[in-house]
């Protein structure tokens, strides 16, 4: 019979809340037993306790960790400023971690989180839900079978809503960087341009305390190019505009025999065209075999949980593990580093502190 895991959840009402409903994803997972919840906000804690049907509640997550001794600590809030501290404490307590993305504010923080997890032999998962998505697994197999010929390039865009530019890159662009690596392999180098108001940024344009505790950000326009290990060139952009805000979030894959468009989300939608350049594009929706999910946000989160628990039991890095989470942050920061240096940067980045500071 599959093992059930003792889980503690920490959220912060008004300061990251519970992310994309990660508390309820664990509550409804058949292999999780919610032991306690912590929230520094009294009203938020009461609501969470009712929602999760738990009696043990804490205003201090450290006390919860010490007293309840969970096997998994769910770091549910989307604000990033507390991620490192909580993961390090969980590792020292022998608890595995599940945390909302992005993983951390800097590569230095990511490195310490990975080192602590490796030293204490615990696992960590970062909620890049598309990394564990069977729909994209199917897309990957179709690409390998040559559905659009040899892959030439991938063009990804952020959500480009009110957060366009630096904030968009860190909040939603990390999904794009993770998917770029899924299809094109590890990046070897990057070139980036960061602009604000139509001009390139200066040090004075850096917001050292960006929203959602994400640390330093800059720019209302970001453009980047990557060279990948599989010989593919990749692009990422996020630009503040008034048109189609939020509707371009996704990526275009261009091959020698066609193109593919992936509209990303908890349930990705995939369109494909095999028309020749200059001809009617003849876009059609890709057929996904019956039974391949996820169906909604919760089932997408359940796949992430399955991935972490399997990683724990098989003593391996989860698919959506810490190494993947760090790569997403590193790709984002490479564009800042390139802008600051005025040229191409190579991976891994030598500077592990924030490149804007």
Does residue 280 surpass a pLDDT of 90?
no
Cα(339)–Cα(333) distance, integer angstroms: 10
Residue-averaged pLDDT of the chain: 95
* 87 contacts: CB under 8 Å, gap ≥ 6: 75, 97, 99, 113, 116, 117, 124
Residue at token pair 């969470």: 48
Percent of the chain whose predicted confidence (pLDDT) is above 70? 97
Provide the pLDDT for residue 293: 86
The number of beta carbons lying within 10 Å of the beta carbon of residue 128 is: 25
Q: Kindly report, residue by residue over 209-233, the tens digit of the pLDDT.
A: 999 999 999 999 999 999 999 999 9
Give the residue from 222, 140, 124 showing the smallest Cα distance to 181: 140
- Rounded mean pLDDT, 280-299: 89
Q: Kindly report, residue by residue over 117-131, the tens digit of the pLDDT.
A: 999 999 999 999 999
The number of beta carbons lying within 10 Å of the beta carbon of residue 66 is: 12
pLDDT band at residue 279, thresholds of 50, 70 and 90? low
Hey, what domains does the chain have and what are their CATH numbers?
A: 5-130+298-321 (3.40.50.720), 134-292+328-346 (3.30.360.10)
Does residue 142 surpass a pLDDT of 70?
yes
Does residue 1 surpass a pLDDT of 90?
no
Does residue 243 surpass a pLDDT of 90?
no
Helices marked H in the chain: 22-27, 42-52, 61-68, 83-92, 107-120, 134-144, 166-171, 173-184, 297-314, 322-341
Global model pTM greater than 0.85: yes
The number of beta carbons lying within 10 Å of the beta carbon of residue 221 is: 22
């Amino acid at each position: 019979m599959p093992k059930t895991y003792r889980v503690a959840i920490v959220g912060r009402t008004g300061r990251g809340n519970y992310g994309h409903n990660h508390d309820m994803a664990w509550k409804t997972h058949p292999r999780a037993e919610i032991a306690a919840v912590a929230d520094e906000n009294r009203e938020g804690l009461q609501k969470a306790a009712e929602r999760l049907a738990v009696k043990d509640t804490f205003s201090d997550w450290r006390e919860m960790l010490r007293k309840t001794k969970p096997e998994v600590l769910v770091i549910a809030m989307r604000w990033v400023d507390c991620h490192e501290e909580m993961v390090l404490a969980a590792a020292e307590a022998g608890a595995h971690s599940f945390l909302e993305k992005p993983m951390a504010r800097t590569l230095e923080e990511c490195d310490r989180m990975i080192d602590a997890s490796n030293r204490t032999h615990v696992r960590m998962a970062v909620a890049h839900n598309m990394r564990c998505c069977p729909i994209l697994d199917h897309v990957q197999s179709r690409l390998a079978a040559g559905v659009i010929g040899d892959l030439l390039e991938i063009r990804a865009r952020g959500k480009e809503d009110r957060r366009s530019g630096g904030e968009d890159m860190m909040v939603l662009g990390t999904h794009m960087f993770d998917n770029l690596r899924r299809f094109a392999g590890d990046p070897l180098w990057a070139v980036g341009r960061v602009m604000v108001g139509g001009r390139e940024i200066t040090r004075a344009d850096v917001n050292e305390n960006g929203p959602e505790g994400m640390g330093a950000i800059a720019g209302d326009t970001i453009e980047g190019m990557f060279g990948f290990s599989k010989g593919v060139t990749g692009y990422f952009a996020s630009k503040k505009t008034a048109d189609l805000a939020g509707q371009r979030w996704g990526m275009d894959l261009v091959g020698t025999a066609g193109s593919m468009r992936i509209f990303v989300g908890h349930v990705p939608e995939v369109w494909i065209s095999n028309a020749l350049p200059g001809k009617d594009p003849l876009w059609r929706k890709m057929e996904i075999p019956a039974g391949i999910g996820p169906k909604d946000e919760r089932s997408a989160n359940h796949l992430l949980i399955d991935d972490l628990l399997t990683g724990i039991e098989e003593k391996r890095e989860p698919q959506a593990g810490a190494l993947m989470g760090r790569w997403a942050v590193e790709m984002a920061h490479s564009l800042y580093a390139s802008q600051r240096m005025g040229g191409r940067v190579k991976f891994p980045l030598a500077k592990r502190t924030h490149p804007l500071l």
